[in-house]
A = this chain, B = another copy of it.
Amino acid sequence: MLNFIEGGVCAAQGFRAAGIHMGVKSRKTTKKDVALIVSDVECAAAAVFTRNAVKAAPIHVDREHLKNGKAKAIIVNSGNANACAPQGEENARRMCAAAAKAVGCDVEDVLVSSTGVIGQRINVELIEEGIPALAAMLEASPAASAAAAEAIMTTDTVKKEIAVETMVGGKKVVMGGIAKGSGMIHPNMGTMLCFLTTDCAISPEMIRTALLETVNMSFNRISVDGDTSTNDSCIVLANGKAGNPVITEKGEDYDAFLKALQALCVQLAREMASDGEGAKHLITCTVKGAKSELSAETISKSVICSTLTKAAIFGTDANWGRVLCAMGYSGEDFDPDKVDVHFTSAAGDIMVCEQGRGVNFDEDLAKKILTEHDVEINITMGEGEGSCTCWGCDITYEYIRINGDYRT
C-alpha cells in the first residue's frame, strides 16, 4: 500500500505547523517568510546538508543539535540565507532559543534553516519578536502545512508539499513534507530546503540511513554532487506515533518505510525540477544499458545539466547532438557508436539518433513532442545493465531576468 494523501507536513500524527509574514524578505511584500514545524513529542531526527565548503550558519548549529539524534521543532526563514553574514551562528542560535521558548522545549531540540540573500545580517530581532505569534498559530491541518510551505519559498512559483501513507509492521504509517526548489542550472543549484515529518517509529540511526539512501536517489539526481548552495538542507523528524514496532535494523519494515520515503522525495524532486527558475519544461533523462548504475547516473546528470541541451528544449529544437556531446564530456568511457537517443512525451516518441548517427526524423512530430511540458530524453547505450533517471528543466529568458537582478 502506498497512497498519496493530503496534509503535507501535518499529515502524520502529532505534527503541527504554521507560516506567517514577518518582513524578513528585503522586498516590501506581505509574503510569508517564517515557518515553524513542531512535534507533540520528541522525535528521532536526521539531516543531510550541503557539501559546499562555504556553509551557512544554521547548518553548523543544526549539526550540534543533531548530535543526540533527537529534535522536536524546526524554525525556518526565507529572505536571508544567514550565510557569510555578520553574527551568523549567534543569530541562528537566537532563532532556536526563541522557538524553544515559544513551544516549550530545549534549545537543542530545535533545528533552524534559512534561505535567501547571502552576506547580509539576518534581522533576528524581527524574528524573535514574531515567533510567539507564529507559535500561537500552530495547527495540525492541511492549511497550516500550506502556510509553512509558502513561507519557505523564494523564487518558487508554486508551493511544494506532499504526503503518503503506507503500512509498516502492521500499522498505518504516514509521512509528509514541504520543500522549496531552486534555479536548476548546473553548476549552481539555488538553495534546496526540504522538511519531512513521519509518525513512524524508527531509531535515529535507521532514520539517518533511510534519509541518505533517499536523498541520493531523489534530490541528488536533480543536481550534481558537490554542486550545492551554502544552505541546502533536508531534515526529517520521526515521532513514533504510528505505534509500529520501532525500526532498528534493515528488514521488511525498513524496506516498506524506505519505499514510501523514496516515492515521496522523488515526487518532491520532480516538482523542484519542474519549478526551476523560469522553467517551461520538466526534462526527465533516463539512461539504460550503461556499464553501471553510477555510470548511468553520471551520464544522465551530464545531459540534464547541459546548458545547451536546456536551451534546445526551451527552443523545442530536437538538437540531439548536444545530448551526445554532454554524454561525451561526462567523463564516462563508452562507445558512441552504440548509443540510441529518443525524445518522448505525451505527444509521442521519436528516435533521433541510432547507433551514434543521426537518423532522418519527422521534424514536425519532434517539435510536437518537445512542445509538451514534460519531456523525456531516453538514452540506451548497449554497454551493460546500469540505468538511472535524473530530472532537470530548460533554461529560459525568465531565468536570466530572475538571476540578473536577484538582490535588488
Chain A interface residues toward B at CB < 8 A: 51-55, 81, 83-86, 117-121, 183, 185-188, 190, 226-230, 302, 305-309, 311-312, 314-315, 317-322, 324-334, 336, 353, 356-358, 395-397, 399-408
Contacts and interface: CB of A to CB of B under 8 A. Distances in A.
A297 to B, nearest CB: 16
Contact of A187 (B307, B353, B403): B307
A401 to B, nearest CB: 8
Contacts of A318: 407
5 contacts: A53-B332, A54-B328, A84-B324, A183-B308, A317-B404
A84 B324 CA distance: 9
Copies in the complex: 2
Choose among A120, A325, A357 the residue with the greatest number of B CB atoms under 10 Å from its CB: A325
Q: Which 5 A-B pairs have the closest CB atoms?
A: A118-B321, A315-B404, A119-B358, A54-B328, A311-B403
A84 B307 contact: no
B403 A400 contact: no
B356 A324 contact: no
Choose among A51, A186, A334 the residue with the greatest number of B CB atoms under 10 Å from its CB: A186
A404 B399 CA distance: 14
B53 A334 contact: yes
A174 to B, nearest CB: 35
Contact of A400 (B55, B226, B309, B314): B314
A321 B226 contact: no
Given A187-B302, A400-B397, A229 B317 contact: no
A188 B326 contact: yes
Contacts of A406: 311-312, 315, 317, 319
